[in-house]
Amino acid sequence: MSYQRDQLIGDVTRHGTLEDILPILGPDYDFAEDVDRIVIRAAHYGNEVLVRQALDLGANAATGDEHGFPLISACGCGRLSLVKLLLERGAQVNAIGRYGDTAIQSAARNGQINELKLLIQAGATLDDAMYAAVDHLRIPMVKFLIELGAPLDKPGNLALTPLLVACSRGKKKGSEIALLLLRAGADATYVREEDGMSATKFALWGQCTQEVFTALHLNGAPGVEDGFPIIRLV
């Protein structure tokens, strides 16, 4: 694919329709193969009209590649009707994308509670949802996931649990999330094996509120050894 052609396709998949893109693709374009990733691109931009047209011409809602899956992309753009369309057309609800992400992670990190509800109804697992929500400081989503009973302590990137992530974000939002997790029963005793980093240490770095430090102590979080670089308490 030439760079110029690729740019044209990218521009049209943002807002265009089948009538706009067929002159670029050619009248014999095989949407069942979809070598130009029209469905994935259109889903990324939330272009429901083009996604629907492509699906009607044989494109597969479940198809993905090293660049991702339509459903994961759609959950990042906040288009509930597009997510519903893809699920109805057979999208894989637990498909894993290029960087290990899933549709439910995408919905959680973007704070899309209604999308997350749809995904759950379609059989999505909640294993990694909390980490994604905490990592992006989505407080309403964190509350909703707690109500659902989502796993609280599964480590994500860099062997961090959601509580450690919240403590590292600190300040107002991170502190609020840390308290929500602790009250819900998150494990305050977890220590990252590779370097001994605990929730208390991350809370110091993140400048969490004193209430967080009190709650960590009451829930058995390890203290801090002499010489640990404390920034300041707020």
Q: What is the pLDDT of residues 72-123, one digit of tens each?
A: 999 988 889 999 999 999 999 999 988 888 999 999 999 999 999 999 999 9
- Predicted confidence (pLDDT) at residue 157 exceeds the cutoff of 90: no
Measure CA of the first residue to CA of the last residue in the chain; give whole Å. Answer: 55
Amino acid at 122: A
Q: From CA 7, how far away is CA 13, in angstroms rounded?
A: 10
- Predicted confidence (pLDDT) at residue 234 exceeds the cutoff of 60: no
Share of the chain above pLDDT 90, in %: 83
For residue 205, give the nearest of 178, 228, 181, 180 by alpha carbon: 228
- Predicted confidence (pLDDT) at residue 160 exceeds the cutoff of 50: yes
Contact 154, 129 (CB under 8 A): no
For residue 152, give the nearest of 110, 183, 124, 181 by alpha carbon: 181
For residue 205, give the nearest of 181, 226, 175, 229 by alpha carbon: 229
Contacts of 197 by beta carbon, 8 Å cutoff, 6+ apart: 164, 191
Average pLDDT over residues 138-167: 96
For residue 11, give the nearest of 213, 141, 176, 23 by alpha carbon: 23
Question: Helix (H, G, I), strand (E, B), or coil: what is residue 6?
Answer: helix
- Predicted confidence (pLDDT) at residue 161 exceeds the cutoff of 80: yes
Within 10 Å of residue 195's Cβ, how many Cβ atoms?
9
For residue 130, give the nearest of 112, 164, 101, 154 by alpha carbon: 154
Alpha carbon 131 to its chain centroid, in Å, reads 9
| Residue-level pLDDT at 118 | 96
Q: From CA 5, how far away is CA 35, in angstroms rounded?
A: 13
- Predicted confidence (pLDDT) at residue 231 exceeds the cutoff of 70: no
Task: Write the DSSP symbol of residue 96.
Answer: -
Question: Helix (H, G, I), strand (E, B), or coil: what is residue 58?
Answer: coil
Beta partners for 65? 68
- Predicted confidence (pLDDT) at residue 11 exceeds the cutoff of 60: yes
> What is the secondary structure of 138-192 as a DSSP string?
-HHHHHHHHHHT--S----GGG--HHHHHHHH-HHHHHHHHHHHHHHT--TT-B-
Looking up tokens 């894993």 gives 96
Q: What is the pLDDT of residues 168-224, one digit of tens each?
A: 999 999 999 999 999 999 999 999 999 899 999 999 989 999 999 999 999 999 988
Beta partners for 191? 198
Domains defined along the chain, listed by start: 1-125 (1.25.40.20), 153-234 (1.25.40.20)
